[in-house]
Chain A
């Protein structure tokens, strides 16, 4: 009985300690658990920094895809640290949660999507997330382990494309722009297989999860793959892609935030750090043209 009580007491203490460390420091730091008050708190932190003896650190939590987004963010992390911002990068595997978490206040910003995707997301869920700055473009490409050029694709070839609305549209538009199929509306970024009006080579399109496409490359005649997944699978968009998007594409990857924190000092510093010559150099050197800086 006594032993049981001791264990229970220890457990309770641990729980209280955990709660305490989150709740007690709100005047100093921006906790990621705060919902939507980051702009105000940044102001308070700046005002208090003169009076307080401790170094005031503003915490910025940013959700990102693994490659190259989290890598670029980790590159600017020390730069931001010198400016008094503690950057926490949270890596996500999917393309839905980073926006949901940003909207609900769990994140201060995210960096993984392009404008067309954000627009569609906002429209469908009545969100109001905003673009606070463009960083780079990952030209979308079509790859093949079977043929060396896009003209070699036989009639009836099986082409694998992403199954989510936004990437599927992008894949189909890329194919249409290269003359392989004709779409009902070339500008419709949510195009689906049902919108193909002409398919003279009778290509068969199979839809799989975007992340799965590099893995099944050898089972199809060609596959349209997002650059971040291609990079992770050791494909080089410049060398291995049969066809690839131009760098002027509307699919610049942006940093997104909420209306209530988009003008905060922390976010502005983040954008300034990202749209810098240092980052431009980092991107060019690390990704050899597979990722192209596009500061907008």
Chain B
């Protein structure tokens, strides 16, 4: 086998752009939606400020369901919604809504776990000082769990890189799709190795940036 004879750089460049687009847009919405859901899950859980068993059960149930559905099935199930939101159910555009629906519940659970780590004593002290609910959520909860949240974002982003490989099924493209089509279906190992190498570099960068941010905001 002639090494690297199959590399078509324009195709790889387009695939890299597709992956970065899917990653970037999805992460923005995932963080916003996941943060809100995660905070609500935490606050309505037993023993917390807005304790409400019904709300917690329902929300938790929905999050569990969304996390249980295999991604490809999820893509197919929400195709009508995707069409309504972005106008088409295929391509990079069509891949983003299902990616958000898959990633946001995952991130929400990480957020919930992060918030649980916050020292109860600090929350109680703020309550004792008469701080309003919003003040507590913003200045105490979120501030104290900052490093945990940053770590959660990093974990989610890296996991998302793997998910984007599935978008090839609906023509979303991306590096993972190239690797599957040429490595698995087409058996062109050199092209597959190059795409995997780029993915590795991408994940390394994501992780390094995430770790640096965590260090920066860590109070020690």
Output the least CB separation between A221 and chain B (Å): 13
B186 within 8 A of A: yes
Contact B186 A219 (CB under 8 A): no
A212 and B79 alpha carbons, distance in the complex (Å): 11
Closest A residue, CB atoms, query B172: A208
Contact A209 B90 (CB under 8 A): no
- List the A side residues contacting B132 at CB < 8 Å: none
- List the A side residues contacting B170 at CB < 8 Å: 208-209, 212, 216
Contact B83 A164 (CB under 8 A): no
Given contacts A96-B185, A125-B187, A219-B83, contact A208 B89 (CB under 8 A): no
A154 and B171 alpha carbons, distance in the complex (Å): 22
Contact B187 A212 (CB under 8 A): no
Given contacts A206-B171, A209-B168, A209-B170, contact A216 B184 (CB under 8 A): no
B76 within 8 A of A: yes
Contact A165 B90 (CB under 8 A): no
Given contacts A206-B171, A207-B171, contact A124 B89 (CB under 8 A): no
- List the B side residues contacting A125 at CB < 8 Å: 187
A residues 143-193 touching B (CB-CB < 8 Å): 160, 163-165
Mask, A77-96, CB within 8 Å of B = 1, is 00000000000000000011
- List the B side residues contacting A216 at CB < 8 Å: 89-90, 170
Contact B184 A96 (CB under 8 A): yes
Output the least CB separation between B77 and chain A (Å): 11
Contact A165 B185 (CB under 8 A): yes
What does DSSP make chain B's interface, helix, strand, loop or mixed?
helix
A46 and B91 alpha carbons, distance in the complex (Å): 56
Contact A124 B186 (CB under 8 A): yes
Residue of B83, B169, B187 near A124 (CB, 8 A) is: B187
Mask, B178-189, CB within 8 Å of A = 1, is 000100111100
- List the B side residues contacting A160 at CB < 8 Å: 90, 171
Output the least CB separation between B10 and chain A (Å): 10
A residues 203-239 touching B (CB-CB < 8 Å): 206-209, 211-212, 215-216, 219
- List the B side residues contacting A212 at CB < 8 Å: 90, 169-171
- List the A side residues contacting B88 at CB < 8 Å: 219
Residue of A95, A163, A206, A219 near B181 (CB, 8 A) is: A163
B residues 145-168 touching A (CB-CB < 8 Å): 168
Closest A residue, CB atoms, query B186: A165
Closest A residue, CB atoms, query B188: A124
Output the least CB separation between B96 and chain A (Å): 16
Contact A208 B169 (CB under 8 A): yes
- Which B residues are within 8 Å of any A CB, using their own CB? 76, 79, 83, 88-91, 168-171, 181, 184-187
| 3 interchain residue pairs of minimum CB distance | A124-B187, A208-B171, A209-B169
Given A164-B186, A209-B170, A215-B76, 15 additional A-B pairs, CB 8 A: A96-B185, A124-B187, A125-B187, A160-B90, A163-B181, A164-B181, A206-B171, A208-B169, A208-B170, A209-B168, A212-B169, A212-B171, A215-B79, A216-B170, A219-B89
